[in-house]
């Protein structure tokens, strides 16, 4: 009887655990953009479901190095490209605006990656870019890198409040 009770208690406790979501398909926002014009992308209501998916965010971190975003943005701290880990955004900090920045490029030196990088990977990059300024939950953002890096890992950064924008929705 005691064991049955212990078993039942364990099941109940485990049932209460939050399980990280792992959607394997691109977020809904990415569908229906077949023409690749990215014209009306700045829809702040667009939700990037990869922001709840630790694997997708870590893929984004991999792409950030693989496509040499690092070369200009220096791990997010900024170099010839602006810092991506602070509260200042030239073109918006919401997922759709960041998607446009990456896919279509920006006039003062940000190359357009939309024709070279699959849309899925761009959404993963978007999620990772937002994790740099602490916009993602600590259970999803990447933890300490294997390489030498002096700052806090993405998962432990305090959320920056993007300047001049409404606070992000509670999560
Ligand atoms: C050749 C250098 C270069 C590379 C490579 C590069 N960027 Fe940029 N990026 C820039 C510059 C310069 C800007 C600012 C453009 C402007 O102000 O018009 C920028 C702007 C941005 C912005 C907008 C920032 C804001 O404040 O709104 C994002 C997001 C971004 N880059 C992400 C990326 C990602 C992700 C990659 C890799 C896929 C990447 N960049 C690769 C130079 C680069």
pLDDT the model gives residue 149 = 78
pLDDT tens digit string along 107-157?
A: 999 999 999 999 999 999 999 999 999 999 999 999 988 877 778 899 999
C-alpha of residue 3 to centroid of ligand 1, in Å: 58
For residue 157, give every residue at least 6 positions away whose Cβ sits within 8 Å of its Cβ, in sequence order, or none: 85, 131, 132, 133, 134, 141
Regarding the beta carbon of 72 and ligand 1, being less than 6 Å apart is answered yes
Q: How crowded is the C-beta side of 14, counted as CA atoms within 13 Å?
A: 6
pLDDT the model gives residue 96 = 92
């Amino acid at each position: 009887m005691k064991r049955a009770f212990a078993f039942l208690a364990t099941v109940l406790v485990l049932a209460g655990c939050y399980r990280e979501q792992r959607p394997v398909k691109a977020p809904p926002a990415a569908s229906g953009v077949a023409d690749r014009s990215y014209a009306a992308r700045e829809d702040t209501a667009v939700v990037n479901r990869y922001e709840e998916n630790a694997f997708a965010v870590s893929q984004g971190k991999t792409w950030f190095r693989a496509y040499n975003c690092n070369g200009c943005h220096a791990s997010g701290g900024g170099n010839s490209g602006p810092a991506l880990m602070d509260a200042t955004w030239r073109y918006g900090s919401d997922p759709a605006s960041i998607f446009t920045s990456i896919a279509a490029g920006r006039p003062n030196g940000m190359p357009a990656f939309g024709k070279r990088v699959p849309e899925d990977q761009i959404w993963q990059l978007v999620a990772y870019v937002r994790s740099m300024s602490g916009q993602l939950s600590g259970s999803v953002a990447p933890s300490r890198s294997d390489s030498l890096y002096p700052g806090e890992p993405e998962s432990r950064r305090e959320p920056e409040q993007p300047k001049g924008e409404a606070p992000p929705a509670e999560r």
